[in-house]
Amino acid sequence: MLDLRQSWKIGPVEIPSRLVLAPMAGVSVQAFRRQGRRFGAGLVCSEMVSCAGIEHRNERTLGYLRVGSDEHPLAIQIFGSEPRMMAEAARMVAAAGADIVDINFGCPVRKVTKTGAGATLLDDPERACRIVAAVADAVDIPVSVKMRRGLENGSRRCLEVGPRLVESGAQTLTLHPRSARQMYTGEADHSLTAEMVSIVDVPVIASGDVTSRARAQAILATTGAAAVMVGRAAQGDPWALREIVDGSAEPPTREEVVAELVLFMRETVRELGERRASGFLKKFYGWYLGRGRFQRPFKQELVQLETVADVEARLFETVPGARFVLVRIEQEQPEVDEVLLDDMPISIYGGG
């Protein structure tokens, strides 16, 4: 049985564990990625970044290119439908300090697919290959591609397109074997993952329904994939990552839950600014405090508070011991340097 703590490589980049933290829109901010690394993720990924936003130097888009020294190895994911623009975005990603540039051919959301990007590109393999080739030619870091099985239920398009993407320069593939139509319903069909592993000569990352150590080991054993990708299971539950990697199944105490949430809140305010962070964090309160850890009325109360500082005060009022756990966690944090491109019109602090 594969040891999930075993290292592996994407091109020259060494990944210290077989667990990859998924790129998730509206979730995978720097605070989320840093936390994931602390809890055992070998590779963390940014949320998808618009190549058009990068080309037009959109302030908020460029804010996604912050890279902390404790995030490595890090993949920054880009999406778009024009090879030239994707190549330029990839250059910016490399300049920002990413270890891997990841291309999104899997997003099923309408506002992405209607532009010809995301999962739509699986039905346009010629353009998809041109995009991968343009990106691979533009940067010296490895190129990865995240994809779905296809647009329609039952599609096997990924098996047709995957080998061509590798020929075009992709050094690893991540397969989420649901269709775009399925979104996140039903089950991921990892028999497709096993087939993909058998027909490409690069590492394949298995994504979809990785919710426990037992499930991760079963997927790795039956597919031959190099690693598993965890997404929704890690939302508000970094302890799930630790359980998957090394079997540490001890549930967190209420003090640990509140301490990690407060640290996440503070990091997010630093990254996004108070105004953006206040709205962004509301979904995380339910994620962290759910799973029977706190009563529903308490979670609902936090969402109604006006500022992040008010939420922090209420959390500490409810669980005073969390302050001491937070001090310990903060003392264990490494000092972090961040890379910022000279022509980015944003501050590292205060939120792009």
CA distances from 206 to 171, 173, 257, 259, 287 (A): 15, 9, 28, 31, 24
User: What residue ranges in the chain does DSSP mark as E strands?
Assistant: 8-10, 13-15, 19-21, 43-45, 49-50, 67-68, 74-79, 100-105, 143-150, 172-179, 204-207, 227-230, 338-339
pLDDT-derived band at 52 (thresholds 50, 70, 90) equals confident
In this predicted structure, which of 43-47, 274-278, 344-348 has the lowest mean pLDDT? 344-348
- What per-residue string of b and e applies to 295-304 under the rule 16 or more CB within 10 Å gives b? eeeebeebee
- pLDDT, tens digit, 9 for 90 and up, residues 69-80: 889 999 999 999
Which residue in 45, 107, 129, 158 is the catalytic one? 107
Higher pLDDT, 63 or 34: 34
pTM above 0.85, yes or no: yes
| Mean pLDDT estimate for the chain | 92
How far is it, in rounded angstroms, from Cα 80 to Cα 61? Answer: 13
pLDDT, position 320? 97
Which pLDDT band, with edges at 50, 70 and 90, does 53 fall under?
A: confident
In tens, the pLDDT along 209-243 reads 999 999 999 999 999 999 999 999 999 999 999 99
Query: What is the amino acid identity at position 304?
Result: Q
Per-residue confidence (pLDDT) for residue 352, from 0 to 100: 31
Residue 107 falls in the annotated catalytic set: yes
Stretch 263-289: mean pLDDT, rounded? 94
Tens of pLDDT, residue by residue over 150-173, are 999 999 999 999 999 999 999 999
Cβ pair 11, 140 in contact under 8 A: no
When pLDDT is averaged across residues 321-349 and rounded to a whole number, the result is 69
